[in-house]
A and B are shown apart, each in its own frame.
Chain A
Amino acid sequence: MTILVIAEHDNKVLAPATLNTVAAAAKIGGDVHVLVAGQGASAVAEAAAKIAGVAKVLSADNAAYAHQLPENIAPLVAELGKGYSHILAAATSNGKNILPRVAAALDVDQISEIISVESADTFKRPIYAGNAIATVQSNAAVKVITVRATGFDPVAAEGGSAAIEAVGAAHDAGISSFVNEELAKSDRPELTAAKIVVSGGRGMQNGDNFKHLYALADKLGAAVGASRAAVDAGFVPNDMQVGQTGKIVAPQLYIAVGISGAIQHLAGMKDSKVIVAINKDEEAPIFQVADYGLVADLFEAIPELEKLV
């Protein structure tokens, strides 16, 4: 068995989610190859070659792959993937965008967001907003799988010394083009990889009040997240949303501030090790999953908390 892992990157830096995906590949067993498709991404290929347990890195460097357009990358992955038993990618917006196209090109189904590997063909994945865990067995010739990063501890980023092999194949479907992108700039840790996450909800009342959370987060070295209510109300941008339709996080500590705890929000954070809820409504459902609950006005509690930590 040989497993192909699609590297998640921005042409400059290898994203940490790749390490969790390699960890899932290691659980399946067999040689692990990593594909770095991009443009001018040699630093990423070198970083991928250093990942512990990676046997080979395939580097497809071409202008057509610069922006991870699925119309161009999927045919490449499908072509390379025919010789593999499994094709894995992180369940990031890129992975979820590209991999179903690969599966369709190979005429196999895809298994989405696995959280555990039972055997080489059997996997566990959450369904119904995390309210049920399904065990599925795939009979596909090539198993195409996206991996939920929080389900697997990352492998070491250093320690490997895989050979880098250039892949010449260039696919340019010519039916889509990249126009531009706007990425939020933040000095805080990335939400899905942070050890501590502080999230605000509708109870924050406005975007300006999020400054209290930022101050607390900076003191804790934490990332800042939000509920859908806070995003929809325009308090913060939508890439901060934690939940079924936003990001899935599982930090050591999750502090939910002014968040009621709807099913859809819990789907994104209930695997956190320790959950703290700060809410003035003692009936809020968030208290049912919180390890430590504090019924208090957040505008008094948060500044005090910031002083004490």
Chain B
Amino acid sequence: MSVLYVTQPDAVVSKTYEAFTVALKQNGTWTKQSVPAQTIDQMVLMGNPQVTGDAFVYALQLGMPIHYLSSFGKYLGSALPGQSRNGALRLAQYGLYHDLSRRLELVKAIVTAKIHNQYVVLYRHGQTDSPVKGRKKLVQTQSTLDGVRGIEGLAAREYFAGMAAIVGTSWNFLGRHRPPPDPINSLLSFAYGLLRSQVTAAVHLAGLDPYIGYLHEVHHGQPALVLDLMEEFRPLVADNLVLSVLNNRQIQQPDFSESLGVYTLADEARKRFLQAFDRKMQDEFKHPVFGYRCSYRRAIELQARLLGRHLQEGIPYKPLVLR
């Protein structure tokens, strides 16, 4: 379970027999580094490093998804290995989309879990009585999708207000905005982008259609199902991570640079953040449904597969909530 991140924009990833060779430019000279391709599960490219056609095809042959992120961590797209062609599963996925009562049940479960996780994040950081707590009950009383979405939005605004209180005034964080007008928002965007690449890979692995979702509206070009599945992980993985790097002072004010009102991370700090993200993904916990220890990376895949089982076999979908 290892991931190759390439963050240098002028790096070149090529293939030499069974291995990848990454050519990096350091102080004006090119150095080559061999990477054992067989043991890598995912490749994440940031900025625009070159990948030769040979290496690209070989990665797909090995079943390795290749994710493209902008240098700010915004998710751009992925090249995915031949996905599972489970037609029956997709028919079930489309079926649930039209079955309004079952769809509402699922959406309620997802939003409830998200709000619960948001509350847990605030609670762990000392915000014991935020108004987010009450929103969970309110979700259950809704009878329309739009009603649930409204509650979700309300909870999100209160949640980010709580988060602003945690990080303090020195960061100038007022709430969630895109594109990032302050450092915290830029970290959040980065973390969400990374998380999205993980969930996208999991959705494809489970053989689901990323464009048909339940909570998020089906728009042109919006992978609604990926965004749906991400909801429960946003507070657990991304927000927790951002708060912990700030608490441990791994990322500080001088690490950011501003251009045109948008804050971006410096190269060194970006590597530190990636390392922290990957450590978070490898964090193990006891899975509340399956009862065995697993990492967050594995948990994302498990949730996608559980959703597949929910669609086809009617097993109740339990989103991941932690205490």
A and B: interacting chains: no
